[in-house]
């Protein structure tokens, strides 16, 4: 492991401190004020200056994150709102926006993307023949049952971890469990999320899943770049006037008055291991030293990828969004036979790694590897192809 930029084994570290918590560890706490009051949190510190907080009572999502004091994730005006304050069906299904904040917000487990309605006949209960779904589903506002957390030593290395189960269930409805384990290796500036979504019920149940990975200032700034091995841009929310706000997909702008969010669905090239890698980088940060944040997912688990640009003043953020479904949502997936159904006991697994790019040297290395996968750079204002089957 590497602590304070020096290689040192566990015995030598123990000689130099009363407890390794001086350098790294997982610490439990409870947020105690305002709309966050009562939320259990776990703070991870890896010893490199990388720190992040897991919100136990918000589906084990990741709230704050920073590297050497520099914030990485986006904090919205809502704060990390306690799920007990959440109104699922308020505001025509858009109330999710009153609880939307943090580095990573999970969407699912049976619905993602925009609000809508669908048949509930598979639940065999007449009063639920039609189901109404809210924006991005229910899971992010469900507390987890915490299995445990701590430090695990393996052959001289230390892995920080936590694990829990988030149960999304209803009588005459879905009974889906998200079993989430988050790990971060001491001496590294990265984290890995291991998710399993299991149908514990006896109804055949739809499954949709998405991560909203939200990045903010100063990682996101005027001139920051989104780098990804894009083969084509399939869809854009502003396709009919793609350059009207003067903000392309790659080079990001600063905050704008009255900016309207832009969303893209990009088709990416996978590396030899079947992984999609994307990143947001700021080469000009810290006088040109640079900083970035990269995400790696498995193309078989998350075959689709969205980019969200929200550059309104006071709401300044960009998100990378791996998804099990295409951007047009549930009805579109059903029409195309792409909606996932889980029988009793069936499950889907997802492994995702998020990493800090500490300087421009690391940024250049990543960009070069991605350029080999997709040598032709997309124009700043790509014309969407509508190639849904690509």
What are the beta bridge partners of residue 320?
213, 307
What 145-150 contacts at long range (C-beta under 8 Å, 24+ apart), as own/partner pairs, is 146/40, 146/56, 149/26, 149/28, 149/42, 150/26
E strand or H helix at 292 = strand 291-298
Confirm whether 206 is domain-assigned.
yes
Of the candidates 203, 186, 191, which has an alpha carbon nearest to the alpha carbon of residue 9? 186
What does the pLDDT read at residue 136?
A: 97
pTM higher than 0.95 for the full model? yes
pLDDT value at position 344? 98
In a domain, 290, yes or no: no
Residue 339 pLDDT exceeds 70: yes
Quick: pLDDT tens for 131-149. 999 999 999 999 999 999 9
> CA 271: distance to chain centroid?
20
What is the distance in angstroms between the CA of the first residue and the CA of the last residue of the chain?
42
- List, for residues 239-250, the tens digit of each pLDDT value: 999 999 999 999
**At which residue do the structure tokens 């869809």 appear?**
235
Give the pLDDT band (50/70/90) at residue 6.
low
Indicate the pLDDT class of residue 88, thresholds 50, 70 and 90.
Answer: confident
Q: What is the pLDDT of residues 220-231, one digit of tens each?
A: 999 999 999 999
3 pLDDT above the threshold of 60: no
pLDDT in tens, 262-310: 999 999 999 999 999 999 999 999 999 999 999 999 999 999 999 999 9
User: pLDDT digits over 153-181, tens only?
Assistant: 887 789 999 999 999 999 999 999 999 99
Structural domain contains residue 8? yes
CA distances from 141 to 57, 167, 252, 295 (A): 8, 11, 30, 23
CB within 8 Å of 88: residues ≥ 6 apart: 95, 134, 138, 141
Q: What percent of the chain has pLDDT over 70?
A: 98
Residue 10: which CATH number? 2.70.98.10
What pLDDT does residue 156 have? 76
Q: Per-residue pLDDT tens for 89-105?
A: 889 999 999 999 999 99
Contact 385, 379 (CB under 8 A): no
Report which of 108, 79, 308 is spatially closest to residue 197, judged by C-alpha positions. 108
Phi, psi angles (nearest 5°) of residue 34 = 60, -150
Q: Collapse the DSSP code of 160 into the 3-class scheme (helix H, G, I; strand E, B; otherwise coil) and give the result.
A: strand
107 located within any domain: yes
Total domains in the chain come to: 1
* 195, 259 contact by CB (below 8 A): no
Smallest CA-to-CA distance from 299 within 270, 328, 272 is with: 270
pLDDT band at 11 (very low <50, low <70, confident <90, very high): confident
Q: Domain for residue 266, yes or no?
A: yes
- Domain of 38 in residue numbering reads as 2-270+300-355
DSSP 274: S
Work out the average pLDDT over 186-200: 97
pLDDT at 7 over 80: no
- Does some domain include residue 381? no
Report percent pLDDT > 90 for the chain: 92
In angstroms, the CA 214 to CA 263 distance is 13
Which pLDDT band holds residue 390 (cuts at 50, 70, 90)? Answer: low
Distance of alpha carbon 168 from its chain centroid, rounded? 19
Asked if the structure places residue 86 within a domain, the reply is: yes
Which residue is listed with tokens 């951007």?
327
In the numeric block, the tokens 């304050």 are attached to 85
The CA distances from residue 353 to 57, 192, 378, in Å, are 22, 4, 25
Looking only at Cα atoms, what is the longest distance across the chain? 67
Task: Identify the band that residue 202 occupies on the pLDDT scale cut at 50, 70 and 90.
Answer: very high
376 in any annotated domain: no
């Amino acid at each position: 492991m590497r602590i304070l930029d020096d290689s040192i084994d566990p015995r030598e570290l123990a000689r130099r401190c009363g407890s390794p918590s001086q350098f790294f560890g997982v610490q439990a706490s409870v947020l105690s004020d305002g709309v966050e009051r009562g939320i259990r949190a776990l703070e991870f510190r890896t010893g490199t200056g990388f720190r992040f907080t897991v919100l136990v009572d918000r589906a084990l999502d990741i709230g704050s994150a920073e590297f050497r004091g520099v914030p990485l994730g986006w904090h919205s005006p809502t704060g990390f709102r306690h799920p007990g304050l959440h109104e699922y069906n308020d505001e025509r299904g858009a109330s999710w926006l009153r609880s939307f904040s943090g580095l990573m917000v999970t969407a699912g487990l049976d619905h993602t993307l925009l609000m809508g309605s669908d048949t509930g006949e598979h639940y065999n209960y007449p009063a639920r023949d039609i189901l109404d779904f809210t924006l991005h589903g229910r899971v992010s506002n469900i507390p987890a049952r915490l299995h445990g957390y701590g430090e695990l030593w393996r052959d001289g290395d230390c892995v920080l971890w936590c694990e829990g189960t988030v149960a999304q269930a209803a009588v005459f409805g879905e009974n889906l469990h998200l079993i989430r384990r988050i790990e971060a290796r001491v001496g590294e500036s990265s984290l890995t999320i291991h998710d399993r979504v299991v149908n514990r019920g006896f109804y055949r149940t739809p499954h949709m899943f998405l991560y909203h990975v939200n990045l903010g200032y100063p990682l996101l700034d005027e001139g920051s770049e989104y780098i990804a091995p894009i083969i084509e841009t399939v869809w854009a929310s502003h396709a009919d006037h793609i350059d009207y706000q003067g903000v392309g997909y790659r080079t990001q702008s600063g905050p704008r008055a009255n900016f309207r969010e832009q969303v893209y669905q990009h088709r990416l090239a996978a590396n030899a291991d079947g992984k999609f890698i994307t990143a947001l980088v700021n080469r000009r940060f810290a006088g040109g030293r640079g900083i970035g944040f990269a995400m790696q997912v498995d193309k078989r688990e998350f075959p689709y990828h969205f980019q969200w640009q929200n550059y309104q003043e006071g709401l300044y953020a960009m998100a990378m969004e791996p998804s099990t479904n295409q951007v047009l949502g549930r009805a579109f997936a059903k029409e195309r036979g792409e909606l996932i159904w889980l029988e009793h006991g069936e499950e889907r697994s997802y492994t995702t790694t998020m990493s800090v790019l500490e300087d421009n040297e690391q940024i250049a290395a990543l960009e070069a590897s991605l350029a080999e996968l997709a040598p032709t750079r997309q124009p700043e204002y790509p014309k969407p192809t509508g190639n849904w089957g690509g």
